[in-house]
Homo-oligomer: A and B are copies of this chain.
Amino acid sequence: MLEQAIFQATLDELVASGYARLSMEAVAAGAQTGKAAVYRRWASKEELVLSAMRAMLPPVGPVPDTGSLRGDLLELMRSARSAMLSLPGSAVRVIMGELDQERARPFLGLMHECVMDPGKAAVLEVLRRGTGRGEVRPEAVTPLVADVAPALMLYRAKMQGPPTDADVVALVDEVLLPLVRA
């Protein structure tokens, strides 16, 4: 289907060129169609990218419940890593990287809604469950603490490249567990 091909090409272009330099011409070429077909559906680059992101970001999965805090955090972070390394995840990283720029500001709401808020909610749920088991000190269950893992993963991915599974284990064992334990 043509719309699917256009969305796919949009994400490819985002990852290759960033939002700032993404061009409708390149997207149309990547989808093997003409500009007219793209403009018939979306009036602007912004509209197209918003639609492509909404359509291509996977639904949020269930919050893991392994019976232990470490187990939950590991599963959550492995799932986050996996999302990060996917095409939609890579496109999200591009957009987030450009959020300091005025041009990408319209994407802030989408990033909150589809990426950050669900991720934060999942971490908070795991932490709450941990307080019930006496594994987590209650004062650690805050939005700020819940932001530590995504922040670190994004930052380290920029500095060193894609995170490994060992990176995920280190994040949980060296940062998250010491930070939240009772």
The answer to whether A55 has its CB under 8 Å from any CB of chain B is: no
A side interface size, CB within 8 A: 44
Question: Given the complex, which residues of B lie within 8 Å of A103, measured CB to CB?
Answer: 18, 21
The answer to whether A156 has its CB under 8 Å from any CB of chain B is: yes
Contact code string A90-118 (vs B, CB < 8 Å = 1, else 0) = 10011011111111000010011000100
Contact code string A147-176 (vs B, CB < 8 Å = 1, else 0) = 110111011111100000000001100110
A150 and chain B: residue at smallest CB distance? B155
A144 and chain B: residue at smallest CB distance? B174
Question: Given the complex, which residues of B lie within 8 Å of A159, measured CB to CB?
Answer: 99, 108, 111-112, 116, 147
Contact (A94, B99) CB under 8 Å given A116-B159, A144-B175, A152-B147: no
Instruction: Tell me, in angstroms, the Cα distance from A96 to B100 when the chains sit together.
Output: 10
Question: Given the complex, which residues of B lie within 8 Å of A18, measured CB to CB?
Answer: 18, 20, 98, 101, 103
Contact among B94, B96, B147, B156 with A156 in the assembled complex (CB-CB below 8 Å): B147
The answer to whether A179 has its CB under 8 Å from any CB of chain B is: yes
Name A residues whose Cβ lies closer than 8 Å to a Cβ of B. Answer: 16-18, 20-21, 90, 93-94, 96-103, 108, 111-112, 116, 137, 139-140, 142, 144-145, 147-148, 150-152, 154-159, 170-171, 174-175, 178-180
Shortest Cβ-Cβ A-B pairs, 7 listed: A151-B155, A97-B97, A20-B20, A151-B151, A179-B179, A99-B158, A151-B152
Pick 18 A–B contacts, CB within 8 A, sort by A: A18-B98, A18-B103, A21-B21, A21-B103, A97-B99, A97-B100, A100-B157, A112-B159, A137-B178, A142-B174, A144-B156, A144-B170, A145-B174, A148-B151, A152-B152, A154-B155, A155-B155, A178-B180
